Structure 1
Amino acid sequence: MYIVKKLLKLASLLVAVSILTFCLMEKSPLDPINAYVGADLTVSQAQREEIAKHWGLDKPPAERFMAWFSSIAKGDLGTSMIYRRPVVEVIAEKFMASLVLMFVAWIISGFLGFLLGIISGMNEGKIIDKLIRGYCYVLVSTPTFWLGILFIMIFSVKLKLFPVALGVPIGVLSSEVTLNSLAKHLVLPALTLSVLGVANICLHTREKVIDILSSDYILFAKARGESKKSIIFNHIIKNVALPAITLQFLSFSELFAGTVFAEQVFSYPGLGQATVQAGIKGDLPLLMGIVLVSVLFIFTGNLMADILYKVIDPRMKEGAVK
């Protein structure tokens, strides 16, 4: 029953987001025909009409949406206007590149945020706590693209440690690309997303640690003579881990949004860059497909957080039974 309710919510969410995205694109001042043609002034009006007819842009908006929606029901996301390939193929290729980037950043930001949050909470009011909080507050107000540009200036231009941009070296065949070169191109985008993702989990964990330290059972544990190490591992980490894990999985939406900016700054060939290109060039089939995939991605994160909550905390199962 729980899964059925979740699936119904997902279906209604997909429909609502699809309608909203389509309406926003229709109200956009961008002309998809001009975006498709580009700067080619030799294209006649008759050719423009043929292009519109080929892509179905000559039909009323409601008819175009229903045609697209019926194709979605059959598993066909259409053909991308800018890549001239099926949308499913484009998204699959781009998403795999983005998934590696997001996974690395997600793991690093979660681990560092949790660790710094515990350290900050255990040392409330001390210098290290002030430094960590100050670091997090600065990160929260730092734009992704600005931090990415800063990393390029420091690590690529000045120190020459990592490539400036792209996901692979220029002028190298795909069969000749090594794992080492892929890792070097991944470091700066992943570092940008990781550093920015630390703040929320750190500040949230810090507050939870402070609340736990002021609770009665911690005072009782200290009165029994438990060591600081025992209190940290037996009481603090166990009680803080659950909300931290939940928050980390709920951060999928922020991670996906940050990926769009990071990939644009580093020209990383992932789903974020494809999203920007689809929006700028009016590629509605690709943009709608990316929206659906992003909703599924974020929904999966929320669902995994709920499931883990029930697995880790038995009280959630008891509440569900009652």
Structure 2
Amino acid sequence: MNRVKYICSTTARMLTLLIAVSILSFILISASPVDPLKAYVGAESTLSEEAKEEVAEYWGLNDPPAERFLTWADHTLHGDLGQSITYNMPVSTVIADRFKYSVALILAAWVLSGIIGFTAGIFAAVKKGSIFDKCVKTFCLILQSAPVFWFGLLMLTVFSIILGWFPIGQAVPVDKLAADVTIWDRIYHMILPAVTLSILGTGKITLYTRQKLIEIMHSDYILFARARGESVKQLVIRHGLRNIAMPAITLQFASFSELFGGIALAETVFSYPGIGSAVTAAALNADAPLLIGIAMFSALFVFVGNFIANVLYGVVDPRLKEGGYRA
């Protein structure tokens, strides 16, 4: 019964989140100063007023906002997220085509930031007060205040333009046919944006891991373990890792939302054809169906990430329960 109750409550929270995100997204889009009709036909369009009226009628732009939302909600309940004004294709198709690029970039950046941040935090805590520790803290604080687009432009300028180690942009070489593109070509084009996102995401987990491990290393049971002759390596492995794993998992899965927030700017800087660049294009065109669809999809993705984190809590520490259900 506890397991069924937990699953039902999780599903209810997920549905509530999606409904709230869709309503809030539609309200914000409706309040946008961008005219979707002008964005679609162009500000300097020579179309007649009758033709513009037909375009507006076709996309339902003349309907009241509430009616447009209810129509969209009815279609969504039947599995149709609507038609994208920007790309003139179904929203589900746009998300599916773009997500395959973004998911690879997000996962690569997420894994790299977790490994680098967790490892750097451990070494900084073990070497507290050393030059390495001070450099790590300074670097992390700088990263915390660095905008994504600025850091992306800096990486692009140094490693693509000056050094020429990586391509300037795109997900695949522009001079190759789709059939000739290899896996290495895709990885090669993804390295720089993935590293950019991962470095920006390491600061928080590094500082938190460092501080948590320092607190643990000064606890009473660690002092007792030292008295028994355990080395620093044994102390970290036997007593430190399990205790710092929980906050590390929490921060790492919470960073999904930060990655989605930064991926739009990163993909725009690197001309990467993922969901982030689609969000930018849709926002400039007031493409309500696409923006709402991506917002719901992003919320669902983050929600699933947090759910996985809750399950992993039980793996790391079986004593933990979530709503009476043992993970």
- Asked whether the two chains share a fold, i.e. TM above 0.5, the reply is yes
For 2:142, the equivalent position in structure 1 comes to 138
Structure 1 runs of 4+ with >2 Å offset:
317-322
Select 1:15's aligned residue among 15, 19, 44. 19
For 2:297, the equivalent position in structure 1 comes to 293
For 1:169, the equivalent position in structure 2 comes to 173
CA distance in 2, matches of 1:238, 1:302: 19
For 1:309, the equivalent position in structure 2 comes to 313
Aligned amino acid, residue 101 of structure 2: A
Once the two structures are superposed, what CA deviation does each residue of 1:253-307 show, in whole Å capped at 9, x if it has no partner? Answer: 0011111110010010000000010010111111111011000011111111111
Once the two structures are superposed, what CA deviation does each residue of 1:127-180 show, in whole Å capped at 9, x if it has no partner? Answer: 211110001000000111111111111111111111001111113211111222
Q: TM-score, normalised by structure 1?
A: 0.97
> Is the aligned partner of 1:202 residue 2:206?
yes
CA distance in 1, matches of 2:155, 2:49: 47
Q: CA deviation at 1:83?
A: 1.1
Gap runs ≥5 in structure 2? none
SS of corresponding position for 1:251: helix
CA distance in 2, matches of 1:314, 1:17: 33
Select 1:149's aligned residue among 147, 153, 166. 153
Aligned amino acid, residue 137 of structure 1: L
What are the within-5 Å matches in structure 2 for residues 73-88 of structure 1?
73-88=77-92
Aligned amino acid, residue 163 of structure 1: P
CA distance in 1, matches of 2:323, 2:83: 47
Q: CA deviation at 1:312?
A: 1.7
Aligned amino acid, residue 130 of structure 2: K
Q: CA deviation at 1:40?
A: 4.6
What are the within-5 Å matches in structure 2 for residues 51-90 of structure 1?
51-90=55-94
CA distance in 2, matches of 1:321, 1:111: 29
Q: CA deviation at 1:319?
A: 8.3
> Is the aligned partner of 1:32 residue 2:18?
no
CA distance in 1, matches of 2:140, 2:76: 42
SS of corresponding position for 1:303: helix
> Is the aligned partner of 1:193 residue 2:200?
no
The percentage of counterpart residues that share the same residue type is 49
> Is the aligned partner of 1:275 residue 2:240?
no
Once the two structures are superposed, what CA deviation does each residue of 1:81-113 show, in whole Å capped at 9, x if it has no partner? Answer: 121111111100101100000111111100000
RMSD of aligned residue pairs (Cα, Å): 1.4
CA distance in 2, matches of 1:136, 1:302: 24
For 1:123, the equivalent position in structure 2 comes to 127
CA distance in 2, matches of 1:320, 1:283: 42
- Contact kept, 8 Å, 2:6 with 2:324, in 1: the verdict is no
CA distance in 2, matches of 1:77, 1:39: 27
For 2:234, the equivalent position in structure 1 comes to 230
SS of corresponding position for 1:165: coil
SS of corresponding position for 2:100: helix
CA distance in 1, matches of 2:173, 2:192: 15
> Is the aligned partner of 1:262 residue 2:262?
no
Once the two structures are superposed, what CA deviation does each residue of 1:11-36 show, in whole Å capped at 9, x if it has no partner? Answer: 11111111111111111111000000
CA distance in 1, matches of 2:325, 2:187: 47
SS of corresponding position for 1:225: coil
CA distance in 2, matches of 1:100, 1:181: 14
SS of corresponding position for 2:296: helix
Aligned amino acid, residue 33 of structure 2: P
CA distance in 2, matches of 1:196, 1:207: 19
Q: CA deviation at 1:207?
A: 0.9
Q: CA deviation at 1:310?
A: 2.0
CA distance in 1, matches of 2:318, 2:141: 35
- Residues 268/53 of structure 1: CA separation in 2 closer, same or farther (3 Å cut): same
For 1:3, the equivalent position in structure 2 comes to 7
CA distance in 1, matches of 2:316, 2:186: 36
Q: CA deviation at 1:45?
A: 0.8
SS of corresponding position for 2:168: coil
Q: TM-score, normalised by structure 2?
A: 0.96
Once the two structures are superposed, what CA deviation does each residue of 1:163-203 show, in whole Å capped at 9, x if it has no partner? Answer: 00111111321111122221221111001001101101101
Aligned amino acid, residue 7 of structure 2: I
